[in-house]
Amino acid sequence: MTKLNVTGMSCNHCRGAVKSALEEVAGVKAVQVDLAGGTAEVEGAADIDELVAAVRDAGYEATVAAG
């Protein structure tokens, strides 16, 4: 599982946009986005750079969470 810190989300629409963007990345099996915590957890064998790029393309910022 890959955990991302996502900034710029302020509502459920934002959460949905990030979730949809991540779900479109090849290798993603499941996505959970926590609006309050500002995180996204991605299951699958997707490339981390592609996950970050997908979030950025959706209009938000993402970094890989430590640990």
Q: Which CATH number fits domain 2-64: 3.40.50.300, 3.40.50.1820, 3.30.70.100, 3.40.50.720?
A: 3.30.70.100
The answer to whether 4 touches 65, Cβ cutoff 8 Å, is yes
Per-residue pLDDT tens over the stretch 11-60: 999 999 999 999 999 999 999 999 999 999 999 999 999 999 999 999 99
Between 63 and 66, residue with greater pLDDT = 63
Backbone angles phi, psi at 48, to 5 degrees: -60, -40
